Structure 1
Amino acid sequence: MKVKASDDWAAEIYFKDGMKLMFESPGDMLAFYLAPETFMSDAAHNNVANMDRITVKDYQSKQPIDARQATLVFKSKVEGPMGPDFLPFSKREAADAFV
C-alpha cells in the first residue's frame, strides 16, 4: 500500500539525520517503534534514541500530533486501513468521550 502524508491514518517517524519513515496507520508505526531492528538493518535507524519526532493523526481533527503525547484507544468498533488499530487523540478527555 502506498502511504501519503495526507492519508487520515498516516503516521511518521522522523530521525535525527533527516530520514523520515511513513506508516499507513498508528498500529504499523508502533510495531516498528517497538522492534525497529526487525525492520531496519542499519544501526542509525534501528535505535529509538535516534528518533527525533513521531507523529500520528488525531482521530477527530485529522491533524498531526506528537505520538508520545497522544492517548490511544484500542479495540473500538472503528477499524483502520488494515483492520483493528489504535485511534490517537490529542486530549485524554476526547478519548474518554469516544469510548
Structure 2
Amino acid sequence: MCCHKSYKDTPLSRRKLMTGLGIIGLSTSLTLTTSALAQVKTPFGTPLPGELDSCPVCGMFPERYPDWIATVLYEDGHADHFDGAKDMFKYLLDMEKFAKGRSRDQIAKVGVTDYYATERIDATKALYVIGSDVLGPMGHDLIPHPDEYDAKEFTKDHLGRRTLTFSEITMDLLLALDKGEFLVK
C-alpha cells in the first residue's frame, strides 16, 4: 500500500490549483482583450472606438454605429471618434470649442467610413455626397466615398444632390444639413 496522500485528501490539490489558475487566467485575458480592443487599428491606421468613447460634438457612442465611424487621430496617439462625418467636420471647423488645447497641426490622420465597403478611408481624400435618401445616426449627413466612381453610383442610387471634397465643407453647410437643407449650387 502506498503512503502518499491522494489528491482528494489535500485541501488544495494540484487539480484544484490548475483549475483555479485557468479561471483566473481566462478572466484576466478577457479583461485584457476588452481593453486591448480599443487599441486595435483599422487598415487605414486609425484606432477603433471603445464602448465608452463618446462623440465630442453630440455625446453619442460611435462604437454603436460602426458603419458611420469617423476618427481624428493625433500624433501623440490620442483619438477622438465621431458617429458620422458631419460631427467630425463640426469638430474640425471649431476645434476651439470641441478640442480645447489641440490644434490641426497636431493631427496625424483623419479617417471616415466608406459607405459601400464600410472600411476606414482617408477623410482628406474622400468625396462626400449630401442630400441623399440615406440618413446617418444624426440625420442628414455627409456620405463618404473613396473615389468619383462610388460617389456617382451612390448619387444615382440614392438621389444625392451634391458631391463635395474635404476642403469644400463649411460650417454653414453642416448647420444647413442639420435642418435638412442641402445648399445645392
Same fold by TM (over 0.5)? yes
* Structure that is richer in strand per residue: 1
Identity score, percent = 31
2:113 to 34, 39, 57: 57
**What amino acid maps onto 1:18 in structure 2?**
G
- C-alpha offsets along residues 3-59 of structure 1, whole Å, 9 cap, x if unaligned? 2187110100000111100001010001001111111221xx2x1111110000100
* Structure that is richer in helix per residue: 2
1:96 to 152, 164, 167: 152
Please give the secondary structure, in 2, of the residue aligned with 1:14. strand
Task: Give 1:12-91 correspondences, 5 Å limit.
Answer: 12-42=71-101, 45=102, 47-91=103-147
Runs ≥4 residues deviating over 2 A: none
Paired residues, what number? 96
Q: Computing the radius of gyration over CA atoms, which structure comes out larger, 1 or 2?
A: 2
Q: Which has the higher contact order (CA 8 A, sep 6+)?
A: 1
TM-score for the superposition, normalised by structure 1: 0.91
Deviation at 1:97, TM superposition (A): 1.7
The separation in 2 between residues aligned to 1:24 and 1:6, in whole angstroms, is: 6
TM-score for the superposition, normalised by structure 2: 0.50
Q: What residue ranges of structure 2 are gaps of 5+ in the alignment?
A: 1-59, 156-185
